[in-house]
Amino acid sequence: MTLDVLIFNIIGDEIKRLINQKCGLNQSQTRLLLFFDANNNEILTMGDLANKLDISLSTLSRQINQKRTLELVNVTRSKTDSSKLLSLNSDGIKKVAELKKELDQISSDLLKTLNNEEKSVFSSQLMTIATNLSKSKI
């Protein structure tokens, strides 16, 4: 049996569309908000954040300088060196709460035809696939 792996792209594109429609966020903004939320809004330098997100500093800089992103993050100069420090501001904290609520609804809608056991198995299998992909770097 051959799996139509492009189905993952269709699902991903639909999720990104829904996040943009419901929250007004693009993929990089979504990732940034969820990262800070998962890390208790820890203040990080641009370099540290780029490393943790596994993206280049120039890519992060472009993402941070988007008008919408600047409305959600604090960007301040370090007092000890020339680095910039980042964290979510109060609007970013509110937006991440809204985003998580919408993600819960999207997840619920995507999995509504599955019972709890099927959802658990499906989630576990997706995590296994993601883990295997990240290890193999296909």
Give 5-37 pLDDT, tens digit per residue.
788 899 999 999 999 999 999 999 999 999 999
- The mean pLDDT value of the chain amounts to 92
- pLDDT(2) > 90: no
Q: What is the pTM of this model?
A: 0.85
Q: Do the beta carbons of residue 76 and residue 87 sit within 8 Å?
A: no
Residue 108, number of CB atoms within 10 A of its CB: 10
Contact partners, residue 59, CB within 8 Å, separation at least 6: 50
pLDDT of the residue at 27? 95
Q: Do the beta carbons of residue 111 and residue 119 sit within 8 Å?
A: yes
